[in-house]
Structure 1
Amino acid sequence: MEFDWTEAQRARYGQTLDAVRAAFPDDESAPAGGSAAPGTYYDRKDWLLLGQLGLLGLSVPARFGGAGLGALDTAHQVEALGRGCARTGLVFGASAHLFACAMPVVDFGTEELRRRILPGMCSGELIAGNAMTEDEAGSDVSRLAVTARRAAGGWVLNGEKSFVSNGPAADVFVTYATTDPGAGHLGVTGFVVDRAAPGVHPGEPMDKMGLSQCPAGSVRFTECFVPDSAVLGEPGQGGMIFQHSMGWERACLFAGYVGLADRLIEVCTRQVRERRQFGKRIADFQAVSHRLADMALRTEAARLLLYRACWEMDEGRPATLSIALSKLAVSEGVLSTALDAVRLFGGRGYLRADGIEAALRDAVPSVIFSGTSDIQRQLIARELGL
């Protein structure tokens, strides 16, 4: 078993880390740790810059404007983005755009649809929003209230999605609707809907706890016509397509959180070396040094699980168990690490100035979106045959 990176992987990671740090330097709105002030969202310039760095199309085939990387190499790049960019909401928004929106189009879109939207998604000219969650459908995606009925040449959508990351800024939505109410998860179909289509009504940005740079809001469909060319896969395959995209998201998106944990460890190591109490560095206190050791343990364990999940994806092996283990380890680990960072900074950790409290707020939703931690445990138990 080979754990080392190739020279090409190492060089690509270093180049991306340096480029991201130069492109998105820490500032007063996003200092050492994380989010900007509430309501401070990314803009088109930020998004286009991500496109120029090649970070919006990492796993998209080169013929559509992407880098054509596999899951593991993609995760390395997202990890560098998460480590180098203190604006975790931007990292999250870019990853949701790529894994929950671009990859379903890559794997299940018509050729016409791929050629029409993937180049713009990779370049940053287009922003995509994943419109799946509803007020009464979070983890249970077989009970979608948004419906789609057959019409000449396509489908007509009606209903509202409640929590669409990138939604208020999105140019295009990847959404899912019930097309056969009696078929459960086999009665769900995936669609790609242009923001400019008649009957699309994006909502205002929500006031969220964290991930402040990424706007999220509702989107309502009212007699919205979607042509057959914008259907993902075949009617009834939406549940499977969504779970396929969640495999990409649960593995590769969370590499950004591994990068965040790396950044927190760096910041905290510097803090405990420099901070003095009772006449010595606080790093010399065992309670402090052991807390950092636990932060490193959680991060390295999560990283290895994530890399294994991505390797299994690249090998075409069944990866459900590894992906669930990885997502659970990364999200719970980064949440604990962010809380430890606040403790290590003490009173300063509770203030906005250093950005440590923002990293904690950014870490909290990681145990909720893409399937809660309890859902991951349920998947793990099922894969174990329980």
Structure 2
Amino acid sequence: MTYILNKQQKVLRNEIIDFSQSELNEGVEDRDRNERFERALWKKCGDLKLQGLCIPKEYGGRGLNFENMIIALEALGYGCTDNGLSFSIGAHLLACTIPIWKYGSEMQKGEYLPMLCDGSWIAANAITERKSGSDVFKMSTIASKTKNGYILNGEKYYCTNAPLADLTIVYAMTNEEKGALGGVSGFVLEKKYFEVSEKIEKMGLRTALMGGVTFKSSEVPNSTLMGEQGGGTVQFTKSMMWERVGLSAIHIGTLQRLLDEVVVFVKKRKIANQSIINHQSIGHKLADIKTRIEAAKLLIAKAAFLIENNVKANTAASMAKLYVSELYKNASSNILQIYGASGYVENTDIARSVRDAMSSTMYSGTSEIQKNLILRSL
């Protein structure tokens, strides 16, 4: 397992941290306040192939293996204070770009992957519906087979990147009798095949735009099918495994940054002529967070190792996601408590990050879903 970084991995990590700090952070307060996504920043990330980290070079990606991709995503989380942008990149790469690489036709890979990797296009994953919630395969979106393709009807909601999406991967029911067991199919659809509903306003991750995707008797050709008909459940389940590990890496990078920042603060902040880091009520909190961050890194590293070596990793991914998301939410709140009023005011990294962390236990499968998945392995 990759935990102690080698020289090349350190160079990779430092490259992405330096890029993020110099190119992505200016103006984040204004973007967050106005819920604004900067396409120019997305293109800058594409110049570094952040949206195609593990995609083979022949398709326009950076060609990293899965373990090195995780190192790169952790570095992005550490260096980029625009947590919404990091999240958008993660959702695009892990739930859209990689699935096309793994399951798409040669036509789909050749046509779409270069634009998805270099920042020219933005992709959205569309599976969640208003009424289905965590039971995502109880969907009402239907893809009816025709002679030359399919007709799609239905609506997806809570789709990250949807308001700006040039392409979406949508999962629809192609055989209601089979249901989740062979009745769900994935489609790779350009924006001419779908309508985007209103932008959804959120309390956190405000620079990662979210919306709905609607299909009203949308006729799509056979060439839009991703893989085989009925393969959608496997495709989506795999994409969630990748997303759980990848987003966990981003979050642990963010949390490490928050810890480093608050350590600087508590060493400078003095009460009764003594740095407050020497107060056990403060120091012990930080020691606990540091220990849990290191434990989280091991969970992420194990899951990444299993995926890289084609070993079943669903449970490891769920454990990493459960542990990291709960830690991210709770530890960021504890760090805010240490800052006190100076952290609670708007336009601080910690205030934004606390808001951004709240949803981490919901997306990519709630904490309750992760516990159910882990329980099945016992």
TM-score surpassing 0.5?
Answer: yes
Summarize deviations over 1:83-112 as a string: whole Å, max 9, x none: 100000000001100010011110111110
Summarize deviations over 1:142-198 as a string: whole Å, max 9, x none: 21111100112211110100111000011011110011111120211100111123x
Q: Which blocks of at least 5 consecutive residues in structure 1 are unaligned? A: none
**Higher mean displacement: 131-140 or 48-57:** 131-140
Partner of 1:155: 150
Query: What TM-score comes out, normalization by structure 2 length?
Result: 0.97
Matches within 5 A, 1:174-323: 174-185=169-180, 186-197=182-193, 200-323=194-317
SS in structure 1 of the partner of residue 340 of structure 2 = helix
Shift of 1:3: 3.9
Partner of 1:55: 50
Partner of 2:123: 128
Partner of 1:5: 5
Give the AA of the match of 2:55.
Answer: V
Distance 1:165 1:241, change over 3 A: same
8 A contact 1:91–1:256 mirrored in 2: yes
8 A contact 1:36–1:212 mirrored in 2: yes
Shift of 1:6: 1.6
Shift of 1:273: 0.7
Partner of 2:62: 67
Q: Which blocks of at least 5 consecutive residues in structure 2 are unaligned? A: none
Asked if 1:352 is matched to 2:346, the reply is yes
Output the CA distance in 1 between the equivalents of 2:301 and 2:26.
Answer: 28
8 A contact 1:141–1:239 mirrored in 2: no
Shift of 1:27: 4.0
Distance 1:212 1:2, change over 3 A: closer
Output the CA distance in 2 between the equivalents of 1:40 and 1:13.
Answer: 28
Partner of 1:14: 14
| Residue number among 16, 36, 43 corresponding to 2:32 in the alignment | 36
Give the AA of the match of 2:79.
Answer: G
Query: What TM-score comes out, normalization by structure 1 length?
Result: 0.95
Shift of 1:279: 2.6
Shift of 1:327: 0.6
8 A contact 2:25–2:82 mirrored in 1: no
User: How big is the alpha-carbon RMSD for the aligned residues of Structure 1 and Structure 2?
Assistant: 1.3
Give the AA of the match of 1:8.
Answer: Q
Distance 1:338 1:2, change over 3 A: closer
Shift of 1:209: 1.1
Partner of 1:366: 360
8 A contact 1:109–1:230 mirrored in 2: no
Shift of 1:253: 2.1
| Residue number among 329, 334, 337 corresponding to 2:328 in the alignment | 334
Matched residues, number: 377
Distance 1:334 1:182, change over 3 A: same
Partner of 2:166: 171
